[in-house]
Chain A
Amino acid sequence: MQTAPLSRYLSLVPSSVMVGVFFAIPFVMILLTSVSTPAEDVDYRYAFDLQHFERFLTWFYIERALFSAGLCALIALISLLIAFPFTYLLTTFGPRTQTSWLIYILAQLSLSEVLIAFSWQILLSRTSGIGNIIAWIGITEKSFSMSPSAGAVVAALVYLAVPFSVLLLFPALSRLDKSLLEASRTLGASPLRTFFTVVIPVTRPAIISSGVTVFVLTLGAIIVPQVLGRPEHWTLSVLITDQAIFNFNMPFASALAVVLLVLSASVIVLVTRYAGGAKS
């Protein structure tokens, strides 16, 4: 605490301006638009009109919101189930192996959602997809298509999310005090028991933050549900895009975006309070 308070505050100015300009102002505009009122001569006027939220309050949109939350929670869970054991094992290897793997995983992040969605579409198609391999092995008689389907959406979203999970878990797992594991083993616990009773509790904050990040991240996925899913698998984000781009109903799109924001914010608050805060 050697720096004077004023200069400390001054050093905050550039980042605050950036956050203000690029985050707070658009956010306020979305809020204002979501309560705007339709007008004859222009698209809408700023007012305090809750009709767009009333429109949301039908079972269809509520069900879509719940579905989106459920889907993203499932994706977060599956990615953790894949990423955690992988990352844990990775930390037991030497630094060279770790670095190569991390570079490989980082490279995955450069693939856009669009690219991933369309690649999976080809992978799951009847004519050029893995259906051909299954038919060739002889499990099925003919090749078949696996998309659009719920499974296709889940597979592609998990593919999208796993690199994030790994990268978020890696620091905690690599800093894990190995003497804890040795102590556990010395006291006679099996590797499996050590894993569940020592490794997981110790790295719980990382697990939670990784899960929450993946949840929020997949909540914003648009292309994957749209390309690989049927309409019943479309998330709230897809509906927002529909309203904003195709129906050009900005107020309703904004209202849905606010709902999505409230949804993700409450999940973050709930999870960090009841899961993260209880750590010993």
Chain B
Amino acid sequence: MSHSVSRRRFMGTAAATGALALAAPSIARAAGGPIKVGTYGGFFEESFKEFIYPEFTAATGIEVQSIAVPTGETWLVQIKNAARAKTAPADVSLMAGTPRNEGAGQKIFKSLDESKIPNLKNVPDTFEDRYDDGALFGVGAVSWYITLCTNSDEIPEAPDSWAAFWDEQYKDKIGLLGLASNSYLLEVTAVTHFGGTDILDTKDGIQQVFDKLSEVVPNVRLWYKDEGAFQQALQDGEIPMGQYYHDVAGLAASEGFPVVSTFPKEGGILDSGYWIVPEHAKPVDEIHEFINFMSTPETQASLSRNVGTAPVIDPALTDLTKDELAAVSSPKAPIIPRYDIYQDHADWISDTWNKMIAG
């Protein structure tokens, strides 16, 4: 089971894969050789290697050298350090919202040539990242949901709203992600109690949301940074409720554990990884070809089936069945993280968050 949760697992794997990725740049790329593609180490990378890259190579003749990259900002820092030496630790890689925003601020990503990515037409605007001058630098790759997960032995009737976190009957029974910038609980609170994330536009608004969110603290038993720890507790019923990744919860349920993932009526949290290209990546054409291939309906469907991610393109374009789609997503409008606030108010949010969870 543990291999399937290591995708976003931070401690340990982040460091280990970091070391791997650091070693990678020294491997010289022969002309016409493989392109180096970075995905989150663990289950993600293995699934990409097994199901996606062979298809890409068969379709284009371009070999892929897979690189395990750490989640979060560690990877961004490695790209930055490599950029100082005018190299790139990967030619193209997945990156999540907060580090992507920060990297964009320092312009460490290559601008992409849209004419070389015809399949970009499949990708909605919300999954395209652009610099202020309109140049494209990030293209949606995969999405995943964070939902309200419960242990059905302990809580037979799963609540249908995030508001359950505020319910006193769950005192000391909830597990939540340990950081403001990966739990997206400010967004959840804003949508559940303030009618949307617009309130997060201002610092005063964020403070109001914090005040509301702090009412959850007595109910929280575990603020987890390590997915494995919470999954274990959720499966055992030790901590019968919390926020967790929809795909991994589904996997646990399919293995017979009493775990239920519910899309609350306010929507699940939709987080996503985008393809970004470090400034000094060389095989420009191959990279564009890769991103183009990843944006086809066929590849997006294959990702949903084999990696368990939600498509970033309109599902109607894919041949996913209703059940297959339901397994990875929900028709309800999702809660979209406000990555911008974690950059604009980074220190303040982190301090206020730490104070809040420490009671």
Contact = CB atoms under 8 A, between A and B. Distances in A.
A64 B357 CA distance: 13
A104 interface: no
Interface stretch (B56-64, B219-227, B242-250, B257-265): B219-227
A242 B225 CA distance: 10
Interface in A64-89: 64
Interface string B321-359: 000000000000000000000000011001100110111
Nearest to B172: A145
Interface residues of B, number: 36
B73 A60 contact: no
A234 B74 contact: no
Interface in B156-199: 178-179, 181-182
A125 interface: yes
Contact of A60 (B10, B72, B106, B351): B351
A60 B347 CA distance: 14
Given A58-B351, A60-B351, A60-B355, A249 B346 contact: yes
Contacts of A121: 229
B131 to A, nearest CB: 14
A71 B358 CA distance: 16
Given A148-B222, A239-B354, A252-B347, A245 B14 contact: yes
A41 to B, nearest CB: 6
Given A60-B351, A231-B357, A252-B347, A145 B73 contact: no
Q: Which of B11, B182, B226, B359 has the most CB of A within 10 A?
A: B11
A232 interface: yes
B10 A245 contact: yes
B80 A43 contact: yes
A127 B236 CA distance: 7
A227 interface: yes
B238 interface: yes
A4 interface: no
A248 B99 CA distance: 10
Interface string A217-259: 0000001001100111010000100110111110010000000
Contacts of B73: 246-248
A122 to B, nearest CB: 9
A121 to B, nearest CB: 7
B106 A42 contact: yes
A249 B72 CA distance: 13
Given A242-B354, A249-B346, 12 more contacts: A60-B351, A125-B236, A127-B237, A148-B222, A230-B223, A231-B357, A231-B359, A243-B350, A246-B181, A246-B182, A246-B225, A249-B347
Interface of A: 40-43, 55, 58, 60, 64, 114, 121, 125-127, 145, 148, 223, 226-227, 230-232, 234, 239, 242-243, 245-249, 252
